[in-house]
Structure 1
Amino acid sequence: MTADTFKNVRSEALRIMERIEKEGAYSHLLINYVLNEGRIAPKDQSLLTELVYGTIKRKNTLDFYLQPFVKKGLHSLDHWVLQLLRLSMYQLKYLDRVPERAVIHEAVNIAKARGHQGISGFVNGVLRSVQRCGTEEPEESLSGMKKHAVLLSHPEWLLQEWVEDYGEKKALDMAAANLLPPQMSVRINPLKTTVDLALNKLESEGCIAEQGSLSMDALRITEGKAAGSPSYKEGLFTIQDESSMLVGRVLDPRSGMSTVDTCAAPGGKTTHLAERMQDRGKIHAFDLHEKKIGLIKEQADRLGLTTITAQAVDARKLTETLLPESADRILVDAPCSGYGVIRRKPELKWQKKREDAERLPAIQSAILQEASRLLKPGGRLVYSTCTVRKAENEQVISAFLHNNPDFTLEANLADRLPPALKDYLRPDGGYVTILPQYFHTDGFFIASLQKN
């Protein structure tokens, strides 16, 4: 492949952002697909990632900067033109290493290729005006939550909800943390390796890693690409955030047990349960979507796990597949708004609306209620989400306990969590909320219930 066959990095970034906004696609999946395609020059791959994530993360702020230079309003622009201006403004404001003239030149060339002379002239005019006049800062004309929504680039309604749930300081700290780059961590497969052996193997493959801060079997990748490495293909580890790894530790399934994972795809937590069971016993993994079942099977095969049976089943109808009181351990990693993983999927804060989030607790409660029917007396059920909304977390658990007096929160949850989380546990145990700013991990909620 010659250099001239590589795609233009800014044109490709624009195409990705259009698909994300129009189709509701996930940024990380599209970026990975494009990079694996091999048509972005190696020297430009980090720039592509920076442009896409950065522009999406800062959308509110970028629109604030652009608005004064578009007389008819941003809503009047063709979708791709607005995205091109956002992409260019992001470079002008946040990427010092990219010369302003290069940003404007590239934007005009893209506009010429995509549109007509008038559009390229408009794009040139807007960006030249920005360059000549500079931009007003949000602090100068805004106040209250509207100012924070622009400065920290989050929907105003979402910030307000977080303030109501956690207070202003924690809410704003969370929004600021969501603007930082996510950290990559991996969970070693103890059936095939150890932390020390995995560290050495990854180093020999060009990765620099260090021990994780929350999970004993976690490594944080500080340099290099772990995904697709020989170690990954050999099943020595799974890519997973450290907060997510804690779910398996809290559930703590033992060798020989019957375990149910109700919403299992793509299989990260399912395979962790199998590893903790030493691949002995039975894991029933379910997911609503048939096409996602293959992802669970692929992960199990790669890791050399044999105890997982994966089926497409609606988690609200589990008792049509399994007998009541037949499981020793149950994981309900419920479908949620995902607001704990905004750092990895920044489009979530723009794609999901308030009404989308408000319909989720009913679904989560229905799944939790159905799953609870499968648990043996004395068994353990863990409810988890990767969101920080109390309506999807504490309130769901509270309502469930009110309606099911034969279940209680486990008071000894701290025994199965790292000491670093002691200060974040509910005072009488039972559940923990991890906000993104605490340990630079994903935001997560984990509750442990026992059937009396």
Structure 2
Amino acid sequence: MKTKQRRLNTARSVALTALDRVRQNGAYSNLQLNQLFSKSQLKDNDRRLATNIVYGVLQHQLTLEYWLRPFVHRHLDPWVATLLLMSIYQYHYLDRVPNWAVTNESIELAKQWGNPGIRKFVTGVLHAILRQGLADPAKIKQPVKRLSIQASVPQWLVTKLINQYGTQQTRQILESINQPAHVAIRVNTAVTDLITVERRLDRQGIGYRKSKVVPDALVITKGEVVDTTLFKEGAVTIQDESAMLAVDSMGIQPNDRVLDACAAPGGKTTQIAAQLTTGYVDALDIHQHKTRLIEKNARRLHVADRIKTYTLDARKVNEKFADATFDKILVDAPCSGIGLLRRKPEIRYTKQPQDSVHLHQIQLAILMAVAPKVKKGGIITYSTCTILNQENDGTVQAFLAAHPEFELVRTRTTRHLKNDRASATLTILPSDFASDGFFISSLRRK
């Protein structure tokens, strides 16, 4: 049966379309929203509502499915299930939106997208939910399942986090990942400085606070920084605070030659380049469209003359570079991305335990390939945006076991983050600073 014409004239119609594509086809939520916003004529407040619904449903999906289950005893078309989850999300989490408005708009969407039978079914389910209320996940007896439903994180991941970090810290991590993600900006020191940027943000009415994680960074608290002349001129760029830490820890010198082995989209590449004068950075990515993205970002940030890009698999660096070429190497490796759950909520449902095993092998292969390319006394900085040990300390230890000519040295940051830790490596949890989860290690060639 063909569906009716699906209009994009309301916040909820855009949200339903985006969520349907994400949940059915594995599309990226941010890309879908951007694409749909460009096709619709939504006002800013409607865009904010659509964004809130999309990210809220994805963040709380397992909780919402738990609440819906008692009210549905038949197979649902995927879009109908998504519409009902959207409605429950709004009932429970959006206090300022009256229930009658949610109900009316949901019924209207059921009418537009389906047939009279589906509209009648949706109406009945929503009225039953409002009449009977929602189950309390706190009453689930099994502890891991209870945490999984409350935080909307798969049970395998809850178990893995408890085994690594303990129950209390896992609770803190799970609570933090369902909070809104901050927008952080890095000041492009190649063309300006922090004080100048602050003054210009003040004049443009953009609210901000100083970063507790890295210098030359601000967290935006009000306004859209991408609409400012600062952003368009390349004086600032959007980059998470934790993501800036890898380069912050590298101690880049103005004349260094640096390899960024997994460089796209170029955030860390341009961060390195901003600190160079006579030195330069060689940036690799396996896909040509991604190396072009690095070049585009480099031009916007006025550091293109300090960057050379190569479409090259980092495991094949021997084809391009002689041994002992680089003063420093950054391997910001492909990973499961579990540290990004606040910013990319849908990945919690697509990742599986075996992904870490596969990624560990890729990470290790990249480290093995680049190892001969760093000079004696030089450092390879190995980082990921995950908080799972197998991809982090597990990869580092496997590399060191195969390469006794390297030693693990303590990762140090400008702000001396977590200096009381016992480990030489640095793990930033999403609950530490309300930034992304991140791992950084420093491997020195003896």
TM-score scaled to structure 1, two decimals?
Answer: 0.94
1:14-163 to structure 2, matched below 5 A, reads: 14-37=16-39, 39-72=41-74, 76-163=75-162
Query: Runs of 5+ in structure 2 lacking a partner?
Result: 1-6
Structure 1 residue ranges, 4+ long, deviating more than 4 angstroms after superposition: none
Corresponding position: 1:311 with 2:310: yes
Amino acid at match of 1:30: Q
Amino acid at match of 2:160: E
Distance in 2, Cα, partners of 1:116 & 1:146: 37
Q: Following TM superposition, by how much is the alpha carbon of 1:407 offset from its aligned partner in structure 2, in angstroms?
A: 0.2
Q: Following TM superposition, by how much is the alpha carbon of 1:230 offset from its aligned partner in structure 2, in angstroms?
A: 0.7
Distance in 2, Cα, partners of 1:36 & 1:322: 43
Aligned residue in 2 for 1:450: 444
State the Cα deviation string for residues 308-337 of structure 1 (Å, max 9, x = none): 111211111111111122111100000000
Amino acid at match of 1:183: H
Contact 1:410/1:449, CA 8 A, preserved across alignment: yes
Corresponding position: 1:382 with 2:381: yes
Q: 3-state SS of the aligned residue for 1:377? A: strand
Distance in 1, Cα, partners of 2:239 & 2:104: 40
Q: Following TM superposition, by how much is the alpha carbon of 1:288 offset from its aligned partner in structure 2, in angstroms?
A: 1.2
- Is the deviation greater in 50-59 or in 164-173? 164-173
Distance in 1, Cα, partners of 2:26 & 2:280: 36
Aligned residue in 1 for 2:13: 11
Q: 3-state SS of the aligned residue for 2:199? A: helix
Q: 3-state SS of the aligned residue for 1:172? A: helix
Q: 3-state SS of the aligned residue for 1:253? A: coil
Q: Following TM superposition, by how much is the alpha carbon of 1:132 offset from its aligned partner in structure 2, in angstroms?
A: 0.7
Q: Following TM superposition, by how much is the alpha carbon of 1:206 offset from its aligned partner in structure 2, in angstroms?
A: 2.4
1:281-296 to structure 2, matched below 5 A, reads: 281-296=279-294
Q: Following TM superposition, by how much is the alpha carbon of 1:263 offset from its aligned partner in structure 2, in angstroms?
A: 0.5
Aligned residue in 1 for 2:432: 438
Distance in 2, Cα, partners of 1:141 & 1:391: 30
1:46-445 to structure 2, matched below 5 A, reads: 46-72=48-74, 76-278=75-277, 280-305=278-303, 306-411=305-410, 413-414=411-412, 416-424=413-421, 426=423, 429=424, 431-445=425-439
Change (3 A) 1:27 1:49: same
Contact 2:71/2:128, CA 8 A, preserved across alignment: yes
Q: Following TM superposition, by how much is the alpha carbon of 1:253 offset from its aligned partner in structure 2, in angstroms?
A: 2.2
Q: Following TM superposition, by how much is the alpha carbon of 1:354 offset from its aligned partner in structure 2, in angstroms?
A: 2.1
Q: Following TM superposition, by how much is the alpha carbon of 1:31 offset from its aligned partner in structure 2, in angstroms?
A: 2.3
Q: Following TM superposition, by how much is the alpha carbon of 1:70 offset from its aligned partner in structure 2, in angstroms?
A: 0.4
Distance in 2, Cα, partners of 1:243 & 1:199: 21
> What do you get for the CA RMSD once the two structures are aligned?
1.4
Distance in 2, Cα, partners of 1:373 & 1:157: 37
Contact 2:276/2:306, CA 8 A, preserved across alignment: no
Amino acid at match of 2:36: V
Q: Following TM superposition, by how much is the alpha carbon of 1:111 offset from its aligned partner in structure 2, in angstroms?
A: 0.9
Change (3 A) 1:421 1:35: farther
Distance in 1, Cα, partners of 2:116 & 2:37: 32
Amino acid at match of 2:291: I
Q: Following TM superposition, by how much is the alpha carbon of 1:393 offset from its aligned partner in structure 2, in angstroms?
A: 0.0
Contact 1:252/1:276, CA 8 A, preserved across alignment: no
Q: 3-state SS of the aligned residue for 1:251? A: coil
Query: Runs of 5+ in structure 1 lacking a partner?
Result: none
- Number of aligned residue pairs: give it: 439
Distance in 1, Cα, partners of 2:294 & 2:39: 24
- Is the deviation greater in 199-208 or in 162-171? 199-208
TM-score scaled to structure 2, two decimals?
Answer: 0.96
Distance in 1, Cα, partners of 2:433 & 2:318: 38
Q: 3-state SS of the aligned residue for 1:379? A: strand
Q: Following TM superposition, by how much is the alpha carbon of 1:46 offset from its aligned partner in structure 2, in angstroms?
A: 1.2
Q: Following TM superposition, by how much is the alpha carbon of 1:143 offset from its aligned partner in structure 2, in angstroms?
A: 2.6
Aligned residue in 1 for 2:4: none
State the Cα deviation string for residues 86-127 of structure 1 (Å, max 9, x = none): 111100111111111111111111111111111111111111
Q: Following TM superposition, by how much is the alpha carbon of 1:6 offset from its aligned partner in structure 2, in angstroms?
A: 6.8
Change (3 A) 1:397 1:237: same
